[in-house]
Amino acid sequence: MEYSTLKFERDGEIATLTLNRPDKRNAISTPMVDDLVAALGAAEADKSVRVVILTGAGKAFCSGMDLETLQALAKQTPEQNLADSRRMAKMFQLVYSFPKPLITAVNGAAIAGGCGLATLSDFTLAVPAAKFGYTEVRIGFIPALVSVMLRRQVGEKHARDLLLSGRIIDAAEAFRLGLVTEVTPPDDLMKRAREVANMLLEASPTSLALTKRLLLRYDEERLRAELELATQENAQIRSTDDFREGLASFLEKRPPKWTGR
């Protein structure tokens, strides 16, 4: 299967998915969402693949939603916004609940939705220069979908700090908060990711799959309900004046003029 926004490579029992829009800092577009869902689905269905590594091409891991997609949001109907929100929710849930071990090798900036992709996996390795942040509130948006999983990862207080401030943190702080498993020198990032993958290959694939399923089933019903709530909120914020102003100010590179509506 061919993908327009990522590369799918397999080396024995390890599959590597590389976000491949380096000229756009691997920004999330609708085709990328579709490609990532399809590629993860293919890796799940392929019984010869036991571990997946997700990384980015170029200097950034993923800079969030791309400009063309952001511009399109302002023109969408409520029905289109809800459908788009469901598409994004499916992608994040698939990363979070992928049934095989998933390692993210963060080679650079991971911002907004890109931060979700970087941190929702089983293992997140990052270079020291990597940056992380949920910056949605700065452009009148809401980090609804990622908030569902982030609260489980770092706790309520840290989640409030990151989501309400929209601040950017470095790899060292992300490690301290529990978003990152390990900080790795740039030249060793993919080598270390493969070392972790090979360690996982030494374990029983049945045991790994059942352990992941057990961890997810503890909170399965509540997670599903919270994601549905977040999906609705993600779609509804797009009809507000602050969202339109935040989006316009971001695209026009000027300070926003908030109205609170």
Confirm if 132 and 117 have CB atoms less than 8 A apart: no
Return the bridge partners of 14, or none: 11, 51
Look at strands 102-106 and 110-111 and give their pairing: unpaired
Residue 28 near residue 113 (C-beta atoms within 8 A): yes
Given the residues 2, 44, 136, 202, the one annotated as active site: 136
Which of left, alpha, beta for 116 (phi over 0: left; psi -120 to 50: alpha)? alpha
Annotation says 136 is catalytic: yes
- Cα–Cα distance for residue pair 257/190, rounded to 1 Å: 43
Question: Which residue matches tokens 């926003």?
Answer: 256
Helix (H, G, I), strand (E, B) or coil at 8: strand
Closest CA to 37 of 8, 12, 9, 59: 8
Q: Which residues contact 227 (CB under 8 A, 6 or more apart)?
A: 89, 93, 145, 148
Hey, which residues are catalytic here?
136
